């Protein structure tokens, strides 16, 4: 039966950046329908009683290890990576821009990839209107104006609330659904792709 792969993510997460770099190839290999589900990770963390930037609460040893491991993963996946000097970063406006671009999937994809790269490789301020304008390109003024519309704001709120209801607690989260069946399988992390692939290809 056809399966759907939902990728729940936020620009603010380095793990989501690395997960997103694998998503389209994973869907292509398995024949799954890929659905990108943006959520506000900070809002989700607050809702479930988690601090905004868990990595900053870790011991120095664990934090040093994860920074090295992020670099290893980036090299392994062939994506550029440099931990930003601005962390944590407010991603709410960039996420709203992504939602505002829903009517143009190609432009939405280009924007999503550009924002991830801008923050996690180029150390740019993705909360800045000038940066967003440059990354959106043509029609940027209209897209930024839409970020203040109640419908766009509510879409991000609703998505984040849905993430909480599904039991999501971090990014990236992969949800595998099978047409005609209730329930789903949930996987967390950029390093769970093999398990996600097995779920997508198993009967």
Q: 140-183: per-residue pLDDT in tens?
A: 999 999 999 999 999 999 999 999 999 999 999 999 999 988 99
Q: Residues 37-80: pLDDT tens digits?
A: 999 999 999 999 998 888 889 999 999 999 999 999 999 999 99
Residue 200 has pLDDT above 90, yes or no: yes
Q: Which of 47, 2, 25, 3 is nearest to 184 (CA)?
A: 3
CA distance 107 to 127: 19
Superfamily for domain range 3-201: Glutaredoxin (3.40.30.10)
CA distance 49 to 41: 12
Q: Where are the domains of the chain?
A: 3-201
Q: Which helix (H) or strand (E) holds 35?
A: strand 33-38
E strands present in 56-184: 173-178
Residue 1 has pLDDT above 80, yes or no: no
pLDDT band at residue 122 under the 50/70/90 scheme: very high
Instruction: Report if pTM > 0.85.
Output: yes
CA distance 66 to 22: 19
CA distance 91 to 75: 25
């Amino acid at each position: 039966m056809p399966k759907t792969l939902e990728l729940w993510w936020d620009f603010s997460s380095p793990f989501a950046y690395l997960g997103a770099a694998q998503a389209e190839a994973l869907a292509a290999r398995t024949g799954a329908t890929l659905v990108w589900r943006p959520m506000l990770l900070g809002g989700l963390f607050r809702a479930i009683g988690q601090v905004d930037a868990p990595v900053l609460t870790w011991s120095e040893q664990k934090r040093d290890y994860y920074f090295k491991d992020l670099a290893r993963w980036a090299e392994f996946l062939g994506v550029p990576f440099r931990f930003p000097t601005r962390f944590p970063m407010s991603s709410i406006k960039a996420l709203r821009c992504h939602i505002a671009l829903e009517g143009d999937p190609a432009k939405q994809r280009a924007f999503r990839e550009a924002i991830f790269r801008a923050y996690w490789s180029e150390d740019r301020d993705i909360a800045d209107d000038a940066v967003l304008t440059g990354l959106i390109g043509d029609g940027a003024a209209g897209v930024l104006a839409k970020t203040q519309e109640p419908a766009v704001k509510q879409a991000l709120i609703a998505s984040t609330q849905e993430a909480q209801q599904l039991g999501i607690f971090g990014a990236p989260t992969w949800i595998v659904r099978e047409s005609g069946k209730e329930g789903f399988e949930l996987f967390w992390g950029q390093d769970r792709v093999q398990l996600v692939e097995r779920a997508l290809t198993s009967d």
